[in-house]
Structure 1
Amino acid sequence: MSASEQAEPDQLALVAAPGRRRFRTRAPEPVAEERPVAAVLVDVGLPHLDRPFDYLVPVSMADDAVVGARVSVRFAGTDQDGFVVARKDSSDHEGKLARLRRVVSPEPVLAPEIAMLARTVADRYAGTVSDVLRLAVPPRHATAEKAASPDPPVPPARPDPGGWAQHVDGVALLDALAAGGAPRAVWNPGPAADWPDLVARLVATTLSGGRGALVVVPDGRDVALASSALTELLGEGQHVELEADAGPSTRYKRWLSVRRGAVRAVIGTRSAAFAPVHDLGLVVLWDDGDDLHAEPRAPYPHAREVLLLRAHQAGAAAVVGGFARTAEAEQLLATGWARPVTPSRQAVRAASPHVHASGDDHEQARDEAARTARLPSLAWRTARAGLARGPVLVQVPRAGYLPGVACARCRTPARCAACSGPLVLGQADRPPRCAWCATTYPSWRCGECGHGTLRATVVGVRRTAEELGRAFAGVPVLLSRGDAVRDTVGAEPALVVATPGAEPVADGGYTAALLLDGTALLARTGLRAAEEALRRWLRAAALVRPGTMGGEIVVVADSSAPAVQALVRWDPAGFATRELAERSALHLPPAARVAELTGAAADVDDLLMHAELPPDAEVIGPVPVDDGARAMVRAPRAAGTALAAALRAAAGIRSARRTGGSVRVRIDPVDFG
């Protein structure tokens, strides 16, 4: 494949003549003597052009246009950026070839293994390589490229097993890593486990064998925790952090140090899954159920799938960990791809806090309001007892003050008259406003009954902190939420009110934890509602002292719910087994592959018409949604590759014909349902 030859501006000379002007073409620059053809992945992002194109390499660029270098080429009449993915002696194209316009940078930023991974990820998610490379290779910063990278550090000595000795097969996992093996594990640490230290020992053991390691965690807080643990274990210089908060220039400089082989260990967020680690021996994904691992940009890959593809491609070890176990992780065990690594039941029992459900029969007999009250008497008693000994954690699922309100008389949800968005209360002394268009309503009246008073349907973290402050006078109330997250709190008594994922680490652990609005969490629509509720609860419960030290947890939910039972028993494995079995019976992910198509109704229909779907594929919809129409295509797991290929080919046909609008294709979206 190639781009057509076009006259270059620097090949034209203006020749003056009486009464007219004419152009004369200069002789083109000679091409390189060795491997004069460069295969270039052009950054165009159109499905029907998702392949390398051949260009001639001028002799002046022969040394700089190396495999992996950024170049500029003429494509479809405009200058486009691209990457050289191969240099070769000849082209299969029978016509003339255009020349490279220039070499943007001779730095070989695109490693061959990352180029191959990008192709695999694009095929898996029905996307284009260009879209994947935008996620994989950060934008260039010339100053960072000019700076020299340090020499690679000496591999460290193998550390002791630490907490891995409490895990069944934990030491065996470390032995395999030290010996250069490629074990695959689904890891669920027990209560109060120091997961950053355990991750650091995995990485250090891999480095001691002369291989590289890559760790992906959900957010910057987790990056800091894991990075601090690895620095404490090995010292400075053995790893780098790759996450957005570092800033573009600093992040690119760190990324270059990895690409150049100066550092062989990386800890970062989802985009770090593509980090070009040399001699990759281990990939680790922590808390794979967190939706932050799902990329919001096309082709919407999940960090778990990217890392598993990398492990398979590189022959590296893979560890998928978290306090909770997802159905996807359970699928890895069910297929034999991985083995479980968990603490013994004796170790779990010794470290577990005592867990109570406010909706159990005993509490309902004692407190008639236990089933419906947001803070039943059990929660009040537990909080008071816990505050006598130290800090108490209160987990609130929703941010804000009152993120949901309704008419106090007829219970009709309050909506905006302009855009029909939900009304919210940001503070007690301010009027309600629309969450979508920000229109305020100082004199709100219900459109159904005309009543002018609102009641809360959902209570946020700030309103909860306000209510607890009044109930526990004299006790400090500390807030930790998305826009103001606390990393740690002291051991003195305090009520720590936090949203999920923003819970601070308490010095010595929390004496108690209240997990509020559990019934509402479990009642949410969506495939992963119960799984996500348990994941949030287990992560908070891991911060509480063991029951032998008085640690207690109250979850405000029905005790018969499987997720609540799994929390009481600290049994993420049993819950995941049940969850996978139910999804398999319903032919839902991960037992099946599902593609979500979103766009204008006519465009969705057109894409489906051009797609040669696998024989067993089932089309559900399209149905109207806010942004047009949505259809789901479901296929057996074995037909997942064929499903993605069919949708990608159909998108290519529509792209080549330039008909209709775009259709967003997401394979196995985390928010499915």
Structure 2
Amino acid sequence: MLSLAHLDRPFDYLVDEKTDADAQPGVRVRVRFSGRLVDGFLLERRESSDHGGQLAWLDRVVSPERVLTDDVAGVCRAVAQRYAGTVPDVLRLAVPPRHARVEKEAVCAGPVPPVQAPDLVGWSPYTAGESFIRATVDGRHPRAVWQVLPGDDWAQRIAELVTAVAASGKGAIVVVPDQRDLDRLGTACEPLLGDRCVMLAAGLGPTARYRRWLSVLRGQGCVVIGTRSAMFAPVADLALTVVFDDGDSSLQEPRTPYPHPREVAVLRAHAADAALLIGGYARTAEAQALVESGWAHDLVAPRETVRAAAPRIEGVADDDRRLGGDPLARSARIPSTAFDAARTSLAAGSAVLFSVPRRGYLPSVACARCRAHARCRQCGGPLSMNDRGDMSCRWCGRPELRFVCPACGGKAVRALMIGDKRTAEELGRAFPGVPVVTSGGDKIVDEIPAGPRVVVATPGAAPRAPDGYGSAILLDTWAQLDREDLRAGEDAIRMWMGVASLVRAKGDGGRVVIVADAAGPAVQALISWNPVGFAAADLAQRDELGFPPAVTMASVDGPGPAITAFVEMLDLPAGAETLGPVPLPAGARRPAGMDADGDVERLLLRAPRSVGRQLADALRAGQTVRHARHDDTAGIRVQIDPPTIG
């Protein structure tokens, strides 16, 4: 397969008698192209060719296994067009590398045991929840955005849904952000589906993953659960695609053409006439756009049901005056209201969760005199401090042995942010005799035993408590809201609601204290548990300002002269405009092949949604011309819907 845009099309080859039987559509082949042997897939057999010149012979069939099905090939073409990429690049995401020994393993013989229809009472609190499942099973391909109730077991609900689909003899695909979510979903699916459920994830290793992928191709599994690329799994008679927590950054594909599983699920559901479900405790602007366009419907619970399931949530300003009356609260740097909530829960024998945005000891420090952020002399990255008082750069790791502030000459630093280790240290002093558990980074705890204990966790790493937490405290929320990012509020809501969903309902004494200004829209959305309203307001604001998903936006990253020359050759659709170039935003990955020390700029292209496909076609045509001219040494990266735009 050749990823060059000007070669992204089928090529005709002759098939001899020796390979005729094995040369069937979907098999892997080797062909000679421009004097060298390359890998490829056989797409179809024809009696004749439209090519006027002399045809070369197929070199060999690598394997008679038909690994590329017609529906997966169609989805790959649609994804390549949607993201201005090439089909070979998408095929590398969709079809795993071959392992010959695995292909030679015998297919399990014997009849496949039928799947029993599950009890769907867990879906009854959601308006139209059971009717959505009936419509899916009946093949009426409904599409919905699901707002999970606080405290509800999302993994169990999805397991019941896909089991109902499997019991009807059809297939389903579920994509979740990471291995931790996948393990939880697998635990819920295994008792209901057994071997009919196949888990696909990169962490399995190439051999085990290919074995499981082949079992799906050969019809041994009808339900696939996995991470990003599982959305391309060759499930037969596909009736449902599910993406859970689509706002999680783990779902951002780092490989070209950078397709998001949510958009792949939309394309695949459309092509297969399958149902679609996008779910989560919070809601992204992209999911809300699907609802407001009428393409998908809300799948939510009534407000009274939401209020009954949610914990009591209150916002408390981070004001030092509120710490003064309680020395223990001051030592733990939390307002007395939040401290009282924690103390009450511990006294009642419940666990308390403290959520902090960063791991480490002091992940961010500033000059003690002028408050300027302490930065690395080498790369300009933020300096952090460990528990021994040693400072180093969070980006390049270079130690800072003698800090001198370039602004005022000060030599002392103060903490801007407290990490999970320092927080755990302070809380250990504030709650003597209470066990303290930390979870984050490479040390994540999945579940804690019953009983009183203090848990300090970073976002997404909080362990589950057997009966839910008695209370949760959200600290240093400014670090999540003050980011210069279009998705700062959306990401904050998603992380906060993920934490609050682990706390008991208000009727059972559950309480969440968020240390933030309660007047902010994101904090108000959490207090009222109204992610739909926040997403609708966010989408309306983006529409007014011309930001995705209200518009289609593409980024072109690379050296300034190269990206300017590339954009000048594009035949942009009506209404499209260029923004920039500007320096590459902080947090965005550098284009592959770019010199690590070279300057990288970004130029944005913005067009109305109605001409989004034409913009992708124009970018694809520009790449074709550029590659045909062999003008691809500058390391340009083209990306539709970049996760970071400024």
Q: TM-score, normalised by structure 2?
A: 0.94
Establish whether residue 432 from structure 1 lines up as the match of residue 404 from structure 2. Answer: no
Give the deviation of 1:154 after TM superposition.
3.5
Greater alpha carbon shift after TM alignment, 199-208 vs 97-106: 97-106
Report the secondary structure of 2:365's partner residue: strand
Aligned to 1:250: 208
* 2:271 matches 1:298: no
- Looking at structure 2, the residues matched to 333 and 458 of structure 1 have their Cα atoms a distance apart, in angstroms, of 38
Deviations 1:136-178 (A, max 9, x none): 1111111111112335633423212121011100111121123
Deviation for aligned residue 1:367: 6.3
- Out of 71, 75, 93, which is 2:29 matched to? 71
Quote the offset at 1:332 in angstroms: 0.9
Matches within 5 A, 1:567-606: 567-606=526-565
Q: CA offsets per residue over residues 165-198 of structure 1, 9 Å max, x none? A: 1110011112112323211111011111011110
Number of the residue aligned with 1:640? 612
Deviations 1:199-230 (A, max 9, x none): 01110111111110100000111111111111
Match of 2:47 in 1: 89
Corresponding residue of 2:303: 345
Please say if 1:409 is aligned against 2:365: no
Match of 1:400 in 2: 360
Closer, same or farther in 2 for the Cα pair 1:505/1:149, shift >3 Å? farther
Note if 1:659 corresponds to 2:620.
no
Tell me, in whole angstroms, the C-alpha distance in 1 between the residues paired with 2:112 and 2:87. Answer: 33
1:467 is the counterpart of 2:426: yes
Offset from partner CA, 1:388-441 (integer Å, 9 cap, x none): 12111111111222221122122222222233332222x211521122332223
Letter in structure 2 aligned against 1:400: G
Aligned residue number for residue 156 of structure 1: 115
Q: Structure 1: 5+ residue runs without aligned partners?
A: 1-42
**Alpha-carbon offset, residue 368 of structure 1:** 8.3
Q: What does the per-residue CA deviation read over 1:72-97, in whole Å, with 9 as the maximum and x for residues that have no partner?
A: 11112221111111111111111111
Q: Aligned partners of 1:72 and 1:516: how far apart in 2?
A: 57
- Following the alignment from structure 1 to structure 2, what is the Cα–Cα distance between the partners of residues 623 and 348? 44
Checking the alignment, whether the CA contact within 8 Å between 1:286 and 1:322 is kept in structure 2 is yes
The residue correspondences of 1:99-110 to structure 2 (distance < 5 A) are: 99-110=57-68
Alpha-carbon distance, 1:339 to partner = 1.1
Aligned with 1:275 (options 233, 241, 256): 233
What residue in structure 2 maps to residue 383 of structure 1? Answer: 342
How is 1:15-94 mapped onto 2 (pairs within 5 angstroms)? 43-94=1-52
Structure 1 counterpart SS, 2:340: helix
8 A Cα contact 2:357 2:479, kept in partner: no
- Tell me the secondary structure at the aligned position of residue 234 of structure 2: coil
Aligned equivalent of 1:121: 79
Counterpart Cα distance in 2 of 1:331 and 1:451 = 50
The separation in 1 between residues aligned to 2:428 and 2:322, in whole angstroms, is 26
| Residue pair 2:323, 2:334 contacting (<8 A) in 1 also | no
- Asked whether the 8 Å contact 1:177–1:209 carries over to 2, the reply is no
The residue number in structure 2 matching 1:29 is none
The TM-score, its normalising length taken from structure 1, stands at 0.90
Aligned-partner SS, 1:537 = helix
1:374–1:516 contact (8 Å) kept in structure 2: no
Partners of 1:237 and 1:587 lie apart in 2 by 48
Task: Show the counterpart of 2:380.
Answer: 420
CA pair 155-308 structure 1, distance change in 2 beyond 3 A: farther
Equivalent positions of 1:133-532 (< 5 A) are 133-151=91-109, 153-234=112-193, 236-359=194-317, 375-389=334-348, 390-425=350-385, 427-532=386-491
Could you say if the C-alpha distance between residues 671 and 184 of structure 1 is closer, same or farther in structure 2, counting changes exceeding 3 Å? same
Larger Rg computed on CA atoms: 1
Count of residues in Structure 1 that have an aligned counterpart in Structure 2: 626
CA contact (8 A) 2:417 2:476 kept: no
Cα deviation digits, residues 511-533 of structure 1 (max 9, x gap): 00011111221111111110110
**Which whole-Å deviations, capped at 9, do the CAs of 1:115-155 have from their partners, x for residues lacking one?**
11111100100111111111111111111111123356334
CA–CA separation in structure 2 for the residues paired with 1:562 and 1:421: 31
* Residues 369 and 55 of structure 1, relative CA distance in 2, 3 Å threshold: farther
Does 2:88 align with 1:130? Answer: yes
Aligned-pair distance for 1:452?
A: 2.6
Alignment partner, residue 602 of structure 2: 630
Residue type at the aligned position of 2:636: V
* Deviates most, 520-529 or 413-422: 413-422
Q: Which runs of 5+ in 2 are unaligned?
A: 585-597
SS of equivalent to 1:544:
coil
Structure 1 SS opposite 2:59: strand
1:481-537 CA distance string (max 9 Å, x none) = 120111101121111111111111101000000111112211111111101100001
Indicate conservation of the 8 Å contact 1:374/1:556, yes or no.
no
Query: RMSD between aligned alpha carbons?
Result: 1.9
1:349 alignment partner, SS class: helix
Q: Out of 501, 508, 517, which is 1:542 matched to?
A: 501
Distance 1:422 1:562 in 2: 29
CA contact (8 A) 1:47 1:128 kept: yes
CA contact (8 A) 1:397 1:499 kept: yes
